[in-house]
Amino acid sequence: MPIRVQNDLPVKEILEQENIFVMDEYRAAHQQIRPISIGLLNLMPLKEDTELQILRSLSNTPLQVDVTFVRVSSHVSKNTSTSHIYKFYESFESIKNKKFDGFIITGAPVEQMPFEEVDYWEELKEIMEWTKTNVTSTLHLCWGAQAGIYYHYGIDKVMLSEKKFGVFPHHVRDRKIPLVRGFDDIFYAPHSRHTEVPLKELEADDRIRILADSDEAGVFLCMAEEGKQVFVMGHPEYDRMTLDTEYKRDCAKGLDIQIPVNYYPNNNPDNKPNLLWRSHANTLYSNWLNYYVYQVTPYNLYGAPNFS
């Protein structure tokens, strides 16, 4: 089933070239169907890249998904044009009286800063509090997951001795949980971060359930409140070349960056990277939409069902 986006969203053409069914606003207006409403708070610097990655991830489901891009008002993006943001994104203030079946909070390039020093932290706290009453399930990604765990459960991130960078093997802790249904015993996922939420502190908090982790990369996936809050510490939405772009960008800046682990064949950056995580990423997003959004959300988000 289709992803519904604005008619002239630039990444729409790329999705269509990948044979992903994208429905524009005109066709959607004639559909007699209740789509799943998903909000995406995109805090990543290259917003169009993230739009493409997330929309691609949400497309592998029989559900019709209606996506609303959301921005914070307390921060000005330096890497995406203002015209793009104001044309395709809604401010939180303009959507705060709405309800959503699901909501996604992305990562952000501010992980080495204390949360309280991030210029949009107060607004993000308001958004995370709002999701408790206006969203059926919220999916937090990378720094967004660290921020969510810190805000909701008071567990702070810690600095790593070196950047966790590459594609790491993970194992499922409890495959009876629907969120990891269909996962292999060992699966791969990308990480790109300087911080982590300590495993022992998460294990000690009985409000949080760890679903998958890695001996090398730590916790990957956990949830709370029976899936109302879901936290993904890595970047399963990344495409094949995202880590390559990050690595070569940092090399060009003269930064001390290691070659991404388990990424390039023969550990040679001149080789095309292996794509090892796409099937599990698709499964994760499909499971979230199916088991924690679609099967839980009310038919009418604003009240009793209307059968007229």
Tell me the C-alpha to C-alpha distance, in Å, between residue 34 and each of 31, 64, 65: 8, 8, 9
The pLDDT score that the predictor gives to residue 130 is: 97
Q: What is the pLDDT of residues 192-248, one digit of tens each?
A: 999 999 999 999 999 999 999 999 999 999 999 999 999 999 999 999 999 999 999
Q: What is the pLDDT of residues 71-123, one digit of tens each?
A: 998 777 776 778 888 888 999 999 999 999 999 999 998 989 999 999 999 99
- Choosing from 111, 196, 237, 280, which is the catalytic residue? 237
Global pTM exceeds 0.75: yes
- Choosing from 140, 152, 170, 235, which is the catalytic residue? 235
β-sheet bridge partners, residue 159:
195
- Choosing from 51, 142, 191, 280, which is the catalytic residue? 142
Give Rg (Cα) of the chain: 19
CA dihedral 279, 284, 288, 291 (to 10 degrees): 80
Q: What is the pLDDT of residues 26-76, one digit of tens each?
A: 555 555 667 899 999 999 888 889 998 999 888 878 788 899 999 998 777
**Among this protein's residues, is 237 annotated catalytic?**
yes
